[in-house]
Amino acid sequence: MFLGPSLPANVLDDLVMEAFCRSSVVDGDFLVIGINSLRVVDGFTFNMSHGTKPQSTLTMFGLYISLKMMRERNKSE
């Protein structure tokens, strides 16, 4: 099952696809919109690349999000 807007009728129209691709699939907490308990942390969540050691950046970012999730879980218990 697909949740979200359907693809534009003309996927070859660059302006239409640009507007379509601006919509976000994750919220500010990296939760996938429309799906409970699923987070996405990868290079596509960044607005720009700093160009240095991208794998290290993603690893540390994933660690940050996992620690944030653990804190949230501990608060709710």
CA 51 to chain centre: 19
For residue 38, the model assigns a pLDDT of: 87
Query: Model pTM?
Result: 0.56
For residue 74, the model assigns a pLDDT of: 92
For residue 71, the model assigns a pLDDT of: 92
Per-residue model confidence as pLDDT tens for the chain (77 residues): 556 667 788 889 888 887 877 767 788 888 887 788 888 887 777 767 667 777 888 888 889 989 988 998 898 87
Tell me, letter by letter, the H, E, C secondary structure of 28-53.
Answer: CCCEECCCCCCECCCHHHCCCCCCCC
Domains of the chain, by residue range, sit at 14-76
CA distance 37 to 26: 12
Structure tokens at 51: 């160009």
